[in-house]
Amino acid sequence: MVAWLVNHAYLIPVFPFLAFWVIALFSRQLKLYSAWVSIGSVFISLIFSLAILWIKIQPLGIERVFSWSWKFMTIGDKVYPIGIQIDNLTTVMLIVVTLVGSCIQIYSAGYMAGDEGFPRYFGFLSLFTASMLGLVLADNFLLLYICWELVGFTSYILIGFWFRKPSAAKAGKKAFLTTRTGDIGFLLGWLTLFGFTGSFALSDARIFIVNHPDMAFLWTVVALLVFWGAVGKSAQIPLHVWLPDAMEGPTPVSALIHAATMVAAGVYLVARTYFLFASTPQALLVVAYIGAFTGFFAATIGMAMHDIKRVLAYSTISQLGYMMAGLGVGGYAAGVFHLFTHAFFKALLFLGAGSVIHACHTNDMRRMGGLARRMPTTHWTFVFGTFALIGIPPFAGFFSKDEILASAFHYGKEHGHWLIFLLLLAGVFFTSFYMFRALYLTFWSKPRCSHHPHESPQVMTIPLVILAFFSLTLGFLYKAFGEFIFVSYPIPSEEAPNWLVMGLSVGMALLGFYVAYQIYGVGAWDKYLLRKRYPLLERTLRKKYFVDETYETLITNPGLHLSYVAGGFDKWVIDGIVNLMGYLGVGWSFFIGFFDKSIVDGIYNLMAWITGQLASASRRLQTGNVSNYFLTMLASIALILILMKFLFKGG
Amino acid sequence: MLLTPEVFHFYLWGGIILVGGLGVVFSRRVIYSAFSLILSLFGVSALYVLLTAPFLAAVQVLLYIGGIAVLILFAVIVAQQKGGGILYNTQPHSPWALLVVLVLMISMGRILTSIQWPVASVEGRTMYNLQISQIIPQARGEEMLTPQTNTYVIGLSLSRTYVMIFELMSVILLVAMIGAIIYVRKEEGESGSD
Amino acid sequence: MVPTEHYIILALALFGIGAYGFMSRRNLITLLMCMELMVNAVNILLVAFNRNWGLEVTRGAFMQARDVQSPIGQIMVIFSITIAVAEAGIGLGIIILLYRHLKTAEVDEVNWLKW
């Protein structure tokens, strides 16, 4: 059974894809059952993924790589195969996508109940799952890029799911355009690689790069281009602006796409093409700095947000920055492990937030409060997710984040770039602060809700409990996970547990908790202190460092003005020329028309008249009598026979 | 050519076929035409026996005479015109038809007979001889042999080599049957006064 | 052994009779009968050719080919008869329908498709 599943593992993305078509074609008939179709398909994929994992954790199974290949096209005598490949990194991603995906889809069945677009929602969710699975399975740049774009597209339609709301439609557009900006980089990057290697396959590119260390500068450029794509998808600075706005979509979508899987695709891309980055220390340094800055600044913005989903969105950006930084400083396993654990606890946090929003009918944390007693399951699972996120031992996030910090520390010791480590460490404090702020405002303070919230139905709480379980336990896998990933990409791993870093990290987290407790717990410190003392700083944070405004001023508005100028030029100059040509044409046409009417038409009329006469003469042949037709037919055959007799003497 | 029994029967039944055919064409009443058709078809069946195709002969009798001819008889009865029958009347282009047919037949006959057809040499190795020992081998006390009779071979071909065409044929028959029923069915509200 | 040429001439004659009848007669049912005559002429040809060529045509395609004559011509006749049955059914249906609507069964009165 397991062997059969593994032998047919290439079917993994097929099931959600089929589910998408089934739902798309039969949404009227299926109605609410479309949820079952979607959940069932992702569940089948989950079974396949678990079978692969089972094979991988057998003795000697860890180094097995499963791959399938098909001929995609033949140009000249060159064959371009397209295939999928399951190594250990892919296995991890498969588990994340299918396991988190099934939890979120089950949750969605409760969350989206009663929405008019219910089947549409699940259809798109299936399409997204299929493309994401295709993305992690691809063994070549072409399929990877196709799925990469598909993922972006489904993200766009799901952000704009409530497209009647103008803000949602606008957010969808913004997300799509911003990620497209990044995708251009990725496209250019892999096309450059293709131009040199003549093959789409990642393995070929890897071999080529290893064999050509003399072209290091080119590889740096290509790596930065590919990383630019990852920046767009994973919402790193400076392309992070779309992710907070993407929270306009349904909350489970935010959980699945904009926290657990799709935004992690950028990190996955860097991990997948790590051979490229590993060949150039400069590119890795850029990755590390961008990640660290993102991790720090997004965390600071998170402190000033009032919308619970936006807090989580900035938290996601920040954590993605941690992953990137982890990859950048050489902590390959650490970055991927953080991606793995983050998918679970961030999905949990988003689903918890969704549960809260479902109960309170608002996103604004200032109008929540005191929900701990009314929604015990949601509360406890949210607390678990928070502990995992800020890295309290023994929750999952502690291990993964600690590994990243240890890698950064090690990097600082070896290469001197201590700023990365410091930024990440400071980020821990801010993360802890804004998460406890959210907990206080939402669950632990006095009730400020306009009505009486109640616990969500079981279909929503059970996925929360499952994810909370994983958030608690996954961290203990860190050693096994490191070995698991190590086989996939042997990078010298960081050394034994670094107690100093561990203590610093936990201390920062507790400090953040203490500050939050003083401000929001007992109210000992004035929460408007920052606004009173440093109004400019507070305003900067609240306006998200004015990035949106900067883009508006620097890119959007000049673009608009340029369009106006181009429009004016078009209207007056181009249109004038076109109109002049038009008048000339009209004059010429009058002359031609006269010639046409008298002479050309005369010839045609004559022809038509002759044809008409012929036709009225020959229509007598159509007697309408079947026998007559048969006679004509036989006579013709006889004629042909006789002609053949004369023409071909031998016949 | 010696007047063997085979030759005798060929000319006897060939004559019957042609007489029947002429009867179809030149009978004064449709009902006579139908009877002549039956005669002609029966002659064809006899020719099949001569051509060592006993199964086809049986099919000819069953399907053509038992099916089509009887169907035509029914149609004659249903479509009988007032006055008891139709007199022999021809279309105005009949002389031309005769000319064309004669020219065609003569030229085709010349072409076909000018070809050197291979001489049939199937005696001694055909399986069409219906010996009782081949059908029931136990009658001779020997071990079981494959009974390679004509019917057996045709059945084998129909159910193996040509099974797809066979199935298609049944679909065609079904469609024709349904089509015929839909044609002759009286429409709703149509008066059945014929 | 009657030579194949004789069968050919017989079939041609039968076909000619049928064709002439098809062209000259006016009654639709007679026309249908003439069509059956033509079909039968072709069937005779098929079986006659099969007698001579059965061994040569598909020897390799058949089991125990040395002794078995391929029945392909006869199979085709069976299919031809099937088609003829279908055609007769449909044709008679059409004739009865025409008769019901036009009160006639004569072919030159059913000529709405003329000029």
Per-residue pLDDT tens digits for B86-112 = 555 678 888 889 999 999 998 888 888
- Is residue B67's pLDDT more than 70? yes
- Please state which of the ranges A90-94, A572-576, A645-649 shows the lowest mean pLDDT: A645-649
Q: How confident is the model at residue A223 (pLDDT cuts 50, 70, 90)?
A: very high
Q: Is A628's CB within 8 Å of B107's CB?
A: no
Q: What mean pLDDT, rounded, does chain C reach?
A: 81
Burial class (CB in 10 A: 0-12, 13-18, 19+), A62: middle
Quick one: tokens of A21?
């078509």
> Taking residues A625-644, what's their average pLDDT?
87
The alpha helices in C1-115, defined as continuous H runs, are 4-24, 28-57, 72-102
Spell out which residues of chain A touch residue C112, defining contact as CB-CB under 8 Å: 624
- What is the reported pTM? 0.61
- Is residue C62's pLDDT more than 60? no
> Taking residues A581-602, what's their average pLDDT?
87
pLDDT value at residue A409: 87
- Point out which residues pair with A67 in neighbouring strands: A85
> Taking residues A629-635, what's their average pLDDT?
89
pLDDT value at residue A651: 44
pLDDT value at residue B119: 60
More confident residue, A130 or B131: A130
More confident residue, B19 or A534: B19
Q: Is A518 on the interface with B (CB under 8 A)?
A: no
More confident residue, A290 or A534: A290
Comparing CA positions, the residue from A188, A214, A48, A23 lying closest to residue A118 is A23
What is the distance between the alpha carbons of residues A114 and A93, in angstroms, rounded to a whole number? Answer: 32
Å between A135 CA and nearest CA of chain C: 51
- Point out which residues pair with A66 in neighbouring strands: A86
Length of chain C as a residue count:
115
Q: How confident is the model at residue A375 (pLDDT cuts 50, 70, 90)?
A: confident
Å between A644 CA and nearest CA of chain B: 11
- Closest residue in B to A639 (Cα–Cα): B104
- Is residue B127's pLDDT more than 60? no
- Is residue A237's pLDDT more than 60? yes
pLDDT value at residue B190: 56
pLDDT value at residue A489: 59
- Closest residue in B to C55 (Cα–Cα): B122
pLDDT value at residue A230: 92
ipTM field: 0.86
Q: What mean pLDDT, rounded, does chain A reach?
A: 86
Å between C41 CA and nearest CA of chain A: 16
- Among C19, C22, C114, the residue with its CB nearest the CB of A623 is C114
- Among C4, C55, C68, the residue with its CB nearest the CB of B117 is C4
- Is residue A45's pLDDT more than 90? yes
- Among B91, B100, B111, the residue with its CB nearest the CB of A634 is B100
Q: How confident is the model at residue C101 (pLDDT cuts 50, 70, 90)?
A: confident
Q: Is C112's CB within 8 Å of A624's CB?
A: yes
Question: Residues with Cβ < 8 Å from C97, sequence gap 6 or more?
Answer: B183, B184
- Is residue A88's pLDDT more than 60? yes
Å between B39 CA and nearest CA of chain C: 11
- Point out which residues pair with A307 in neighbouring strands: A364
> Taking residues A534-562, what's their average pLDDT?
78
What is the distance between the alpha carbons of residues A353 and A358, in angstroms, rounded to a whole number? Answer: 8
pLDDT digits (tens, 9 = 90+) for A256-300: 888 888 888 999 999 988 888 888 888 889 999 999 999 998 988
Quick one: tokens of C101?
């609507």
Question: Which of A402-406, B36-40, C47-51 is modeled with the greatest confidence?
Answer: B36-40
Percent of chain A with pLDDT over 70: 97
Q: DSSP of A94-124, one letter per residue?
A: HHIIIIIHHHHHHHHHHHTTT-TTHHHHHHH
Bin A391: left if φ > 0, else alpha if -120 < ψ < 50, else beta.
Answer: left
Q: How confident is the model at residue B118 (pLDDT cuts 50, 70, 90)?
A: low
pLDDT value at residue C61: 43
- Is residue B140's pLDDT more than 50? no
> Taking residues A20-25, what's their average pLDDT?
90
- Across the B:C interface, residue pairs with CB atoms under 8 Å apart total 245
Comparing CA positions, the residue from A113, A108, A95 lying closest to residue A158 is A108
SS3 A593: helix
pLDDT value at residue A226: 92
- Please state which of the ranges A330-344, C9-23, C90-104 shows the lowest mean pLDDT: C90-104
Spell out which residues of chain A touch residue C24, defining contact as CB-CB under 8 Å: 627
Q: What mean pLDDT, rounded, does chain B reach?
A: 77
Give contacts of A 600-639 with C, CB under 8 A. 619-620, 622-627, 630-631, 634
Q: Is B87 on the interface with C (CB under 8 A)?
A: no
pLDDT value at residue C34: 93
- Closest residue in C to B153 (Cα–Cα): C71
Q: How confident is the model at residue B137 (pLDDT cuts 50, 70, 90)?
A: very low
What is the distance between the alpha carbons of residues B194 and C103, in angstroms, rounded to a whole number? Answer: 8
pLDDT digits (tens, 9 = 90+) for A446-467: 777 767 777 888 888 898 999 9
Residue A355 CA from chain centroid, whole number: 23
More confident residue, B53 or B150: B53
- Is residue B84's pLDDT more than 50? no
Q: Is A624's CB within 8 Å of C31's CB?
A: no
Å between C107 CA and nearest CA of chain A: 7
- C-alpha distances out from residue A269 to A254, A262, C55, Å: 20, 11, 69
Q: Is A651 on the interface with B (CB under 8 A)?
A: yes
- Among B97, B101, B107, the residue with its CB nearest the CB of A641 is B107
- Among A624, A630, A631, the residue with its CB nearest the CB of C114 is A624
- Closest residue in B to A640 (Cα–Cα): B104
- Among C1, C8, C40, the residue with its CB nearest the CB of B120 is C1
What is the distance between the alpha carbons of residues A584 and A610, in angstroms, rounded to a whole number? Answer: 38
First to last CA, chain C: 54
Å between A635 CA and nearest CA of chain B: 6
pLDDT value at residue B15: 94
Spell out which residues of chain B touch residue A628, defining contact as CB-CB under 8 Å: 91, 93
Residue A455 phi, psi dihedral angles, 5° rounding: -65, 145
Q: DSSP of B77-106, one letter per residue?
A: HHTPPTTSS----B-TTHHHHHHHHHHHHH
pLDDT value at residue C3: 83
> Taking residues A571-595, what's their average pLDDT?
88
Spell out which residues of chain B touch residue C2, defining contact as CB-CB under 8 Å: 6-7, 10, 50
